[in-house]
Amino acid sequence: MNFVVTHFNYLAVIVLMMTGLYVLFATGNLIKRMIGLALFQTSTALLYISLGKVAGGTAAIKIYPDSPEAQALAAQLDPAYVAQFGVSGVVYSNPLPHVLILTAIVVGVATLAVGLSIAVRIREAYGTIEADEIEAVRAREPGE
Amino acid sequence: MTVGELLILLALGLPLFAALVTFAVGRMPDVRETLMLVACIALCIITMSIFVRAGAGDPPEMMIAQPMAGLEFAFRIEPLGALFGVMASVLWAINSLFSIGYMRGKREPSQTRFYMCFSLAMFGVMGIAMAANLFTLFVFYEILTLATYPLVTHKGDAAARRAGRIYLGTLVGASVVLFVPGIIGVASIAGSTTFTPGGLLPGGTDPAIGNMLLLLLVFGAAKAALIPLHGWLPAAMVAPAPVSALLHAVAVVKAGVFTILKVSAYIFGPELITALPAATWVLWVAAATIVIASLVALSKDDLKARLAWSTVGQLAYISSAAMLPFATGLAAGGMHMVVHAVAKITLFMCAGAIYVATGVTRVSQMAGAGRRMPVVFTLFLIASLSLIGLPPTAGMWSKLLLVNASFGSGEWATAAAMIASSLLSIGYLLPVAFRALFAPPTSLAPDFVRPGGTPGPALVAAILTGIGCIGLFTGAEYIADYLEPLGAITLLETAP
Amino acid sequence: MTLFEAIYVTPPALTAQAPILVVAGPLIGASAAALSPGARTAWMVSVLTAAFALWMSVAVVTEVAREGVVDYALGGFAPPLGIALRIDALGATLALLIASVGLLGALYSGHALSSEVYPGKHGLFQAGYLLCLAGFLGLVFTGDAFNAFVFLEVSSIGTYALVAVGEARDRRALPAAFNYLIFGTVGATFYVLGVGFLYGATGTLNLVDMSVRLAALGDNFAVQAGLAFIVAGLGVKAAIFPLHGWLPGAYAGAPSLVSVFLAATATKSAIYLIVRFVFDVFPTGGFGQTFLALIVAPLAAAAAIVCSVQAIFEKEVRRILAFSSVAQVGFIMLGISLATTGGLSAGVFYLVAHALMKGALFMGVGALAISVKARTVEEFYGLGREAPWSAAAFAVGAASLAGVPLTMGFLAKWSLIAGALEAGALWVVATLAVGSLLTLVYVGRLLEAMFFRAPLPGATRAHEAPFGVLVPLLVMAGLSVWFGVDSSLPESLSRASATGLIGSAR
C-alpha cells in the first residue's frame, strides 16, 4: 500500500498512457485516434512534471527570501526534510522539466494540427473518417 | 603504358569493340560479320602474344582500380590463364565462322543481339583469363553469366524462358550464396585476394575454416557443374547450337573449372590442398559426378542432351584434377581443359551441322545419315575418340595424365571413376558415329531439309577443330611444358 | 577529404558558426519558401538553402576531420547547463549525406513536382522540405537528448505533411500519411518517455554528461527500461522490423521526391540516434549492446529475409522498393549489432550506400512517372527503351542494391560480410547471403520488366524526363558507381565513425 502511495504519480501516468494507447488502437475513427494520441502524449508530460516536483517546492519563479511569501513558504516545509537535505529558505521545483514539456506540448499541438488536417483531407477524398470504410473504398479501387 | 598493359587493354577491348560494332552496323549482316571475324582474328593474335610473353617469364600485368583496401581490380597473366585465353579466342574465331553458317542457314531472328551477347561473353572470358585476383575474376565471371543469359533464352518461348531462369538462378544463386562469402572469407584471412603462386592462404590456416572456404569456392563456381549444381547445363541446351558449342563446351563451363584450378593452385596452394579433408570430399563428389553423368548420358536420345551430360562428367575430371596433389594434377587438369574444349566444340558443331542440314536432333533418327554427310560424321568420330581418350587424338594424353595423377596420389576411387566413365563414353559416343556411317541405308535415314546440306562456313569450322583434335595429339607435350611452372611434369616422365 | 579541402574555402567567421548555420539556414529558408510568391521562386529558395546547408556541412566535416569532435555551445553557454551541438565523425558523415541528398533533391524538385503536387502548393511543399532538412541535420548535430526529440519531431511533422501531399497523384497517400503520423508520434513519445527515465536517473540531458553519469551508475533497471523505450521508439522511425508498418504505404504514396528524401535520410537519422545512445551514451559492452545483440539483431535478420520475400511478391514498384528498404535497414542493423569496429563501420558504410542507391531508385521512378503514370511492374514494361537515361540511372541504383561489383552496394555487402566473419557471426553471414539472393530476385524482376519486356498493348508511351530532373538523378546514380570504384571517402568516414564510437565509450 505504501508503494502505491509513493508511486502514485507513476500509476497515474501508466493509467493515462494505457487509456491513450487503447483509444488509439481500438477505434477506427480518425478523430478519436487523434484524441487517443493526445492523451498518450499528455501522459509523458505528466511523467516529466512529476519528476521535477520537489517535496514542498514551489513554482520556479524567483521569490526574494526576505519577502513575507518566502517566509510563509519556508514555514510550510517539513522540518524532517529540511534536516535531511540541509535546505533553507524557499525550495523550488526543478524548472527544466517544465520547459521541456512546454516544448513537447508545442510539438504535440503541431502534430495534432497536422493529423487533424490530414483527417480533413481524407474526409474530402474518401467521404469518411472511419478507417474500415476507407479500406472498403480502397478495396474497390483498380490495381488493389 | 607498357606493352603488357596495351595487350591487356586490347584483349579486353576487342570483344567490347566487336559488341559495339555489331550493334552499330546490325542492319548490314555482311559488314557486321566481316568486322566480327576481323575482331576475332585480331583477338587471337593478341592472346597468342600474351601467351608467348607469359611463357617467356614476362607476364603482362595491369592495375585498374582499388575500390577498398585489399580489394583490387587488376590483371596479371600466368600460364594457365594465358592458355585459357588462347583456347577461348581461337575457338571463338572458329565458332564465329560456324555461327555465321548456322544462323544464316537457320534464318534465325535477332541475330544482332545474338552476336552482341556473344562478344560480351568473350569480354567476360578474357577478363576471367587475365584476372589477377579472385575479386576481378568474380566480376568477369558474373559478366559472363549475364551476357550468356539472352543467348540461352534466344528462342524466347516459354521453355527457353524457363531454362533461362534455371540457368541464371543456379549460377547467380551459387555465386551470391557461396562464392562471394568464400571470397570475403579469403580476403579477411589473407588481407587480399591476389592469386599467389604457392597459395595465398597461409600454411597454418585452421582446417575447419579451410574446409569451409574450399567448399564455398568450389561449389560457388557452379559453372563447373559439379552435382548437385549441374542442373543448369542440360537446361541451357535449349540455346542454338553455336551457343552450346562455344559457351557450354568452352567458355562458360571452362570458366568454372578454370576458377577451380586457379583457386586450388593460387589461393590454397599444394600444401594446404593436400592437408584439407574437404579436398577429398570434393574428389568423392567429382567421382560420383563423373559416373552418374556418364550413365545419364547413355540414357539420352537427344544428341545435345547426351553431349551436355557428357560435359558434366568431363568437367568433373578437371575439378578432380584440381583437388589432386599439385605436381601431377594441375597440369593434367589444364591440359584436359583444352583437349576437352576442342573435342566438345567439334561434337556440338557436328550436332549443329546435322540439325541445320536435316532437322534431326535425336540419335535414334541418325542411322544411315552418315552416307549423306560423311565429313560431318567422320569429324564426329574423331572428336568422340578424343573424348574417350583413344589415339591418335589428344584426349589420350590428358586422360593418361589424369588417371596417372589419381593413381599417383592414391585416389583409387577417382581413377576408377575416370576409367569407368571412359568405357561408358565408348557406349554413348561411338554408336552415334558408327550407326550413322556404317549402318545399312534405310528408308528412315533423314533427308536434307536445307538444300545443299550443311552450310559451308559451318563445315569449315568443324573441320578446323577436328584437325585440332589430332593436332593436339602431337602438340600435347608443348602444352604440358608450358604449364610446367604450375608444377607440371613432362609427358615423358608420366608415361607408364 | 582532400577533394573537399581543394574545392572549399569558407570565411573563418562562417566556419566558426557553421554547426548552427547548418540547422538555422534551412529553418530560415523554410519560412522564405512558404512566403515566396510562385513555384519558381520557392524552388530557387529551396536550392539555394540546400546548397548553403551542404556548404556549411562540408565546413563542419573538414573541421571534424581536423579536430575529431566539434563542440559548439549555443549562445556561448557552456554545457551541461547550456545547449550544445556536438559533432563527431558519425554525425559529420550523416550530415554530409543528408545535405548532399537534400541538395540533389532540391534540384530535382524543379521539374519533378509539377506532375505530383497541386500547383500553388509548391511554396508550402518546399517549406516542408526545408523544415525536414533542418530537422534531420539538427538531429545528427545535437548533443542533447531532448533537443534530439524536438528535431526528430520537426522533421517528422514535415514528412507527415509531405507524404500527404502525394494525394495529388494517388489518394492513398492520405491514409498512409495519417498512419505514418500515428506510428511516428507513438514512436517519438516512447523516445521521450525513455529519455525521461534516463533524465530521472541521471539528472542530465546532455549526452556526454549522461554517458559519464551512466557509467558511474552501473546496472539500473530504470536506465535499462529507458534504453528499451528509446530503441523501440526510434525503431518505429527507423522502420526496424516489425515496427515498419507505416513505411510501405508512406513511401508508395508520397511524391517521388519525398520518397527519395525519406529513404535516404529519415530512417537513417533514426538509426543514427540509436547508435548514438547504444554506443556513445551507454557504456561499452553494457546493456545497450546486449539489447542490440539479443533483441534487435534477430529482428533485423528477420527483416532481411521476410521483407525481401514480401518485396518479391509485391506488385507495385514503389512498394517493392519500400519493402526492400525495410529489408536493407535489417542489413544495416545486423552490421551495427555486431558491436565491433568492423561491423559498426560496415553498418555506417551500408547506410550511406543504401541512401544513395535508394535515392537513385526513387528518383528514377519519379523521373519515369513524369510522363507516364506507371505504378505496377507490368506498367513498367519496356520503359527502358522509351526513357533510356532515367532507366539507366534506375538500373545503376538497382545494380547497387543487388550488390553488383564496382557499385557501392557491392562494397557495402562486402564489408558487412567481412565484418561478420571477423566477429565470427556465421549466422549473420548466412542471413546476408540469403538476403542478397532474395534481393537479386526482385531487382532482376524490375530490370527484366524495364529492359526485356515489350510494353503492354495500349500502354501510354513514356518520354525521357526533362534535363533538370535527369541531372540530379544521374549524379545520384553516378555517386553509387564512383564510390564503388573508389570508396576512400565513405570508407574513411565510416571507419572514423566506428572507431570514434567504440573508442569513445571505452
Express each pLDDT in C161-199 by its tens digit.
888 888 877 788 888 899 899 999 999 999 998 998 888
Nearest-Cα residue of chain A relative to residue C174: A122
Region of poorest pLDDT, from A42-51, B343-352, C10-19, C380-389: C10-19
Residues with Cβ within 8 Å of C345's Cβ and at least 6 positions away in sequence, in order, are C415, C419, C494, C495, C497, C498, C499
Which residues from A are below 8 Å from C209, CB to CB?
none
Domain boundaries, chain A: 2-53+94-140
pLDDT recorded at residue C358: 92
Q: Looking at the predicted structure, is the pLDDT value of residue B493 above 80?
A: no
Backbone angles phi, psi at B45, to 5 degrees: -60, -45
Q: Looking at the predicted structure, is the pLDDT value of residue A88 above 70?
A: no
- C297, C300, C330, C325: which is closest to C311 by C-alpha? C325
Here the cell at position C2 is 582532400
Grouping H, G, I as helix, E, B as strand and the rest as coil, residue B349 is: helix
- Where do we find the cell 502524449? A41
Mean pLDDT of B25-42: 81
Of B374 and C1, the one with more pLDDT: B374
Nearest-Cα residue of chain C relative to residue B169: C441
Q: Directed axis angle between helix C408-422 and helix C467-485, to 10°? A: 40
pLDDT recorded at residue C5: 54
User: What is the per-residue pLDDT across C65-124, written as a single tens digit (0 to 9) for each?
Assistant: 888 888 888 877 777 777 888 888 888 899 999 999 999 998 888 877 777 777 778 888
Do the chains contact at A103 and C150, CB–CB below 8 Å? yes
Which residues from C are below 8 Å from A103, CB to CB?
146, 150
- Residue pair B60/B7 in contact by the 8 Å Cβ criterion: yes
Across the interface, of C403, C421, C485, the residue whose CB is closest to B67 is C485
Mean pLDDT of B6-13: 84
Residues with Cβ within 8 Å of C265's Cβ and at least 6 positions away in sequence, in order, are C97, C98, C101, C102, C132, C136, C355
pLDDT recorded at residue C130: 92
Do the chains contact at A44 and C182, CB–CB below 8 Å? no
B187 touches chain C (CB under 8 A): yes
Across the interface, of C437, C444, C487, the residue whose CB is closest to B68 is C487
Q: Looking at the predicted structure, is the pLDDT value of residue C311 above 50?
A: yes
B173 touches chain C (CB under 8 A): yes
Do the chains contact at C185 and A143, CB–CB below 8 Å? no
User: What is the per-residue pLDDT across C316-344, written as a single tens digit (0 to 9) for each?
Assistant: 888 899 999 999 999 999 999 888 888 88
- Residue pair C505/C408 in contact by the 8 Å Cβ criterion: no
- B442, B244, B441: which is closest to B353 by C-alpha? B244
Report CA-CA distances (Å) from C114 to C118, C217, C425: 7, 56, 49
- The number of residues in chain B equals 496
- Residue pair C336/C271 in contact by the 8 Å Cβ criterion: yes
pLDDT recorded at residue C272: 92
Q: What is the mean pLDDT of chain B?
A: 81
Here the cell at position B456 is 559451308
Out of A5-14, A87-96, B23-32, C203-212, give the one with best mean pLDDT: C203-212
User: What is the per-residue pLDDT across C246-255, written as a single tens digit (0 to 9) for each?
Assistant: 888 888 888 8
Between positions 40 and 99 of A, the ones with CB within 8 A of C are 40-41, 44, 47-48, 51, 96-97
pLDDT recorded at residue C10: 62
User: What is the per-residue pLDDT across C225-237, written as a single tens digit (0 to 9) for each?
Assistant: 888 899 999 999 8
Q: Looking at the predicted structure, is the pLDDT value of residue B476 above 60?
A: yes
**pLDDT bracket for residue C6 (50, 70, 90):** very low
**pLDDT bracket for residue C505 (50, 70, 90):** very low
Do the chains contact at B142 and C491, CB–CB below 8 Å? no
pLDDT recorded at residue B489: 40
**pLDDT bracket for residue B496 (50, 70, 90):** very low
DSSP codes, C246-286: THHHHHHHS-HHHHHHIIIIIHHHHHHHHHIIIIIISPTTS
Grouping H, G, I as helix, E, B as strand and the rest as coil, residue C332 is: helix
Mean pLDDT of B356-374: 77
- Where do we find the cell 581543394? C6
A31 touches chain C (CB under 8 A): no
pLDDT recorded at residue B326: 52
Pairing of strands C70-73, B61-68: unpaired
Task: Say if pTM beats, i.e. exceeds, 0.90.
Answer: no
Report which residue type is found at C1: M
Here the cell at position B140 is 568477369
Across the interface, of C146, C160, C205, the residue whose CB is closest to A114 is C160
Mean pLDDT of C131-149: 90
Do the chains contact at A126 and C167, CB–CB below 8 Å? no
Do the chains contact at C405 and B177, CB–CB below 8 Å? no
pLDDT recorded at residue C97: 92
What percent of chain C lies above the pLDDT cut of 70? 96
Q: Looking at the predicted structure, is the pLDDT value of residue B93 above 50?
A: yes
User: What is the per-residue pLDDT across B406-426, written as a single tens digit (0 to 9) for each?
Assistant: 877 777 888 888 888 888 888
Separation between Cα atoms, residue B73 and residue A128, nearest integer Å: 60
What percent of chain C lies above the pLDDT cut of 90? 22
Q: Which value does ipTM take for this structure?
A: 0.86
A105 touches chain C (CB under 8 A): no
B206 touches chain C (CB under 8 A): no
**pLDDT bracket for residue C452 (50, 70, 90):** confident
Of B66 and C225, the one with more pLDDT: C225
Q: Looking at the predicted structure, is the pLDDT value of residue C136 above 90?
A: yes
Chains in contact with B, where contact means 3 or more Cβ–Cβ distances below 8 Å, are C
pLDDT recorded at residue B446: 64
Out of A70-74, B209-213, C412-416, C461-465, give the one with best mean pLDDT: C412-416
B487 touches chain C (CB under 8 A): no
Alpha helices in C338-425 (DSSP H): 341-369, 383-386, 388-402, 408-422
pLDDT recorded at residue B27: 75
User: What is the per-residue pLDDT across B117-172, written as a single tens digit (0 to 9) for each?
Assistant: 888 888 999 899 888 888 899 989 988 888 888 888 877 777 888 888 888 888 88
Region of poorest pLDDT, from B272-276, C88-92, C135-139, C392-396: B272-276
pLDDT recorded at residue B495: 39
pLDDT recorded at residue B486: 66
Mean pLDDT of A69-77: 73
Separation between Cα atoms, residue C78 and residue C80, nearest integer Å: 6
Q: Which helix (H) or strand (E) holds C22?
A: helix C12-35
CA dihedral (B447, B449, B451, B456) in degrees, to 10, reads -100
Report CA-CA distances (Å) from A93 to A10, A52, A61, C19, C190: 18, 6, 9, 33, 25
The CATH fold assigned to A2-53+94-140 is Helix Hairpins (1.10.287)
Do the chains contact at C167 and A48, CB–CB below 8 Å? no
pLDDT recorded at residue C506: 37
Q: What is the mean pLDDT of chain C?
A: 85
- B300, B330, B396: which is closest to B83 by C-alpha? B330
- Residue pair C231/C291 in contact by the 8 Å Cβ criterion: yes
